Amino acid sequence: MQDLAGKRIVLGLTGGIACYKSAYLCRLLVKAGAMVQVVMTQAAAQFITPVTMQALSGRAIYDSQWDARAPDNMAHIRLSREADAIVLAPCSADFIARLAHGRADELLSLTCLARPIERVPLLIAPAMNREMWAHPGTQRNLAQVRADGAIVLDVGAGPQACGEEGDGRMLEPEELLEDIVAHFQPKRLTGQRVLVTAGPTFEAIDPVRGITNHSSGKMGFAIARAAHEAGAQVTLVAGPVHLPTPRGVRRVDVISARDMLAACTAAADAADVFVATAAVADWRPLHTSAHKIKKDGSGRANALELTENPDILHTLAQSVRARSGQLFCVGFAAESDNLATHAKAKRERKGVPLLVGNIGPQTFGQDDNSLLLVDARTTRELPRAPKLALARELIAEIAARLPASRLPA
């Protein structure tokens, strides 16, 4: 997906060993469709060469306020006016101090100071030693640049180039890309609290076997990411899947349907929207053996008796908060055939205002999907597309159905 198609990004590099990550970040931004113009300080050029960044961005690098390519020798004006965003990655402690004090004695700080604040956001990815990060002067400067309108991204924790370990590492390029993409997404759910379930459940038969399904969790994780991008506070209750947690999302890992119900019940009181994407096992063994069940030669599993699992969606949809309109519930139906018929029946049976249907065998484990949106009056198909693109469309649909009083002006 080219999430940044047509966006003009000024990528500013300041002095720090994290410049090696900036090369890959530049590559990711270009692959996402952005037009990247790199601006480097003299200190940055001690860590990575302008030739490298020019090769990756496809554009000549700017590194001097006296660059004669600008007809009026005002490169800082042209660069800042043409940008959709300025991203400083890495942003050193020294450069943060420059920003806090409004310094403008070289091209990158000039460009940041000259940007139209109301139109061109400044995103800062700090990178420094743990003691420098924790120093009161740095934290004071960060508070000032935030107050001046900059967006300060998180830092990572772990081993540092100096040999120490702690906070202050620049985020990884993939994390930075996710934050940059999120910045440009419409903030349709600002102030909303969204609860999402994702993945399968696993119902143990014995210590080594269980009942589960083919759900990969990708659709639910995409919805959690899209809700966060839209400005919501998101809790993701995930069955047993191996997927990275979306940026900014609180994750609760569970195994069985009863575990998932308990986690959802605990989180529902603080939620405004519930999206039940998980493929919850309908059945579980009535009794779980403490030891592996051995074959006895009969050709039958005589010890396996099934009982129905709790219905998580129906339980939350019939809660006091859902019935009073405080909790907007969205269900999912993974079917194998007759999608529209089964989805309509399931929506009525569950008692939810919106149900999303898909054909399970065509989506499990895939990176794309197609969806059928079913409400009390209509059905609408979302054609096959990447799951994140569909998730963003679904979030827009949900936002459109919430009472206007609950949404940002």
Q: How many CB atoms lie within 10 A of CB 324?
A: 8
Q: Cα–Cα distance between 270 and 227 in angstroms, integer?
A: 16
DSSP bridge pairs for 37: 10
φ, ψ at 329 (rounded to 5°): -105, 135
Residues 6 or more apart whose CB falls under 8 angstroms from that of 378 comprise none
Catalytic pick among 19, 26, 112, 162: 162
What tokens were used for 160? 């540092």
Q: Tokens 């929506």 — which residue?
A: 347
Helix (H) or strand (E) holding 224, with range, is: helix 218-229
Contact 62, 39 (CB under 8 A): yes
Per this entry, what is the length of the chain? 409
CA dist list (Å): 323 to 159, 272, 319: 50, 12, 6
CA dist list (Å): 43 to 47, 50, 366, 393: 7, 12, 44, 43
Q: How many CB atoms lie within 10 A of CB 379?
A: 15
> 124 burial class (0-12, 13-18, 19+ CB within 10 angstroms)?
buried
Looking at residue 357, its amino acid is G
Q: Tokens 């419409």 — which residue?
A: 186
Q: What is the dihedral of CA 48, 50, 56, 59, to 10 degrees?
A: 160
Active-site residue, 162 included:
yes
Q: Could you list the active site residues?
A: 162
